[in-house]
Amino acid sequence: MVKYLFALLLSLLITLGSCQTLEELSIDYMLPAEISFPDQLKRVAVVNNVSSIPDHAILPKNEVNKENELSRATAYHNGDATLAASSLAEAIAQENYFDRVVICDSALRAQDITPRENTLSRNEVQELTQDLGVDFIIALENMQLQATKAIRYLPDWACFQATVDVKVYPTVRVYLPGRKDPMVTINANDSIFWEELGSTETYVRSRMPRDNQLIEESSKFAGSLPLKYLLPSWKTSKRYLYTGGSVNMRDAAIYVREEAWDNAFKLWSEAHRLSKSEKKKMAAAHNIAVYYEMQDSIETAETWAIKAQQLARKVEKLDEISQKAKDVSSVPNYVMITLYLNELQERKAGLYKLNMQMNRFNDDF
C-alpha cells in the first residue's frame, strides 16, 4: 500500500507540470533485530531439529477458480530442513555478528516415523553447547512449504502463463543453556515465485520447476528468513528531493548529484530563510530533513520534516478541505512528507535498541 501511494504521489507531482519537481535517491540504513542478545553470547550453533522423514506431497483435486485459468493445484511439502539449516547458518556467519557460527545437522529426530515439532530438552541444550563449544543454540524445528501451480491463458498477450507460488513457513527457536524453555520462538513466512510465458500450454508446463528443484530452492530461501528477526539488518529506501522553484533549489540538486551535500544544505537553508513563499519554504524544509537523515541525525531530520509537514498543511489548505474531498490527489505534498516523517519516526524509535545490539562491537575500537 505504501509503495502504491508513493508511486501515485510521484505521478501526480510530475504530471501537475509545476515547478515543484522531484528527484529520487536511495538511502541505506540499519534496522534493529526483534531479538536482542546479551553481549556475552558470542558463539552460536545452528541445529537441525526437524524430523528426518521422506517428503510426501499432499495434492488436492485440480481446481480452477480464476478467469482464463486452465489449471490450479496446491501441494504441501515438508521442505529440506538440512538445506534450510545450512542456509540459516551461512546467512548468520556472513553478517559477522557473532565470533563463531557452527552448523550442526543433528540426527536428533532421525528415528521419527511421522513428522513432529519437538523442542530441545534442557539436557540436550546443555550437551550440544558443551560438545560444540558454543554459548547458545538456534534450532530449526519446522520447515513447511505450500506450493501452488497454475496455468492460465492471457488473451491480451495471446500467450500462456505458468506460475508457481511457494509459501514457506520455517520455525526457529533460540535456546540458552540452563533454561527450561526456549528463549524465543520465531515463526517466519514469505513466498518465492516462478513464472514462464510461452505460445502453448505444453511449452509452459514443461518449463515449470520440478518438485525437487522447487523444494531445494524454497528451502534455501526459507532458511534465510529468520535472519532479520535475529540480527540487525540493512534496508534500502527511496527518498525524494524537491529540485525546482528557484535557482538555489536547482543548484542544490546539482551539488547532491556530485555528493556535495554540505553545499546543497547551505542553499536549502538560504532558500528556507529568505523565501517569502510557504511552498518554497516547505520544499526547502523537506530537503533539509533528508540532509540530516543522510548525516544520521535522525532527531534533527524529524524536526525539519515536521516543519515541512506543517507548511504543506498550510500550502494545500488541508484544514479547509472537506472530508469528502480529502484524497491523495488533493494533498500530494502533505501525504508524501507525512509518509517520510513516519519513516523517520520509526527509525528514531528503533535507535536505542539498535545501538544496544551493536554495542558488542565497541570493544573493537
Instruction: List, for residues 116-130, the tens digit of each pLDDT value.
Output: 557 898 999 999 999
pLDDT-based confidence at residue 332 (cuts at 50, 70, 90): confident
Residue 277, classified by CB atoms within 10 Å of its CB into exposed (0-12), middle (13-18) or buried (19+), is middle
Residue where a domain stops, chosen among 206, 232, 258: 232
Give the C-alpha separation, 25 to 241, whole Å.
8
Per DSSP, 225 falls in state: T
- Asked if 270 and 308 sit in the same domain, the reply is yes
Q: What percent of the chain has pLDDT over 90?
A: 72
Task: Give the number of other CB atoms < 10 A from CB of residue 28.
Answer: 8
Q: What is the average pLDDT across 85-94? A: 95
Q: Are residues 88 and 123 in the same domain?
A: yes
Mean pLDDT value of segment 312-333 = 75
Per-residue pLDDT tens digits for 181-206: 999 999 999 999 999 999 999 999 99
80 and 203 in a common domain: yes
Band of the pLDDT at 69, cuts 50, 70, 90?
confident
Give a yes or no: residue 35 inside a domain.
no
Q: Which domain holds residue 325?
A: 2-25+238-364
Q: Are residues 177 and 287 in the same domain?
A: no
Last residue in a domain, options 232, 258, 287: 232
Burial class (CB in 10 A: 0-12, 13-18, 19+), 223: buried
For residue 155, pLDDT beyond 60: yes
What mean pLDDT comes out for the span 150-172? 94
Residues 182 and 323 in one domain: no
What pLDDT score was predicted for residue 329?
A: 66
Same domain, 210 and 176: yes
Q: Which residues contact 364 (CB under 8 A, 6 or more apart)?
A: none
The pLDDT of 310-339, averaged and rounded, is 80
Distance CA 255, CA 61 (A): 62
CA distance 299 to 218: 40
Burial classification of residue 226, based on how many CB atoms lie within 10 Å of its CB (0-12 exposed, 13-18 middle, 19 or more buried): buried
C-alpha cell at 294: 543522510
Kindly state whether residue 325 falls inside one of the protein's structural domains: yes
Q: Is the model's pLDDT at 274 over the cut of 70?
A: yes
Terminal alpha carbon distance of the chain = 42
107 and 213 in a single domain? The answer is yes
Flag whether 118 is in a domain: yes
Pair 211, 262 in one domain: no
On whether both 92 and 117 belong to a single domain, the answer is yes
Domain membership flag for residue 206: yes
Could you give the number of structural domains in the chain?
Answer: 2
Q: What CATH number corresponds to the domain at position 349?
A: 1.25.40
The per-residue pLDDT for 31 is 93
109 phi, psi to nearest 5 deg: -115, 25
Q: How far apart, in whole angstroms, are the C-alpha atoms of residue 130 and residue 45?
A: 11
Higher pLDDT, 361 or 253: 253
Q: Are residue 210 and residue 79 in the same domain, yes or no?
A: yes
Please tell me the distance from the alpha carbon of residue 177 to that of residue 126, in angstroms, as a whole number: 5
Mark whether 87 and 215 lie in a shared domain. yes
Q: How far apart are CA 271 and CA 247, in angstroms?
A: 9
CATH code of residue 117:
3.30.160
- Within a 10 A sphere around the Cβ of 25, how many other Cβ atoms? 13
Q: Which of 187, 191, 189, 188 is nearest to 148 (CA)?
A: 191
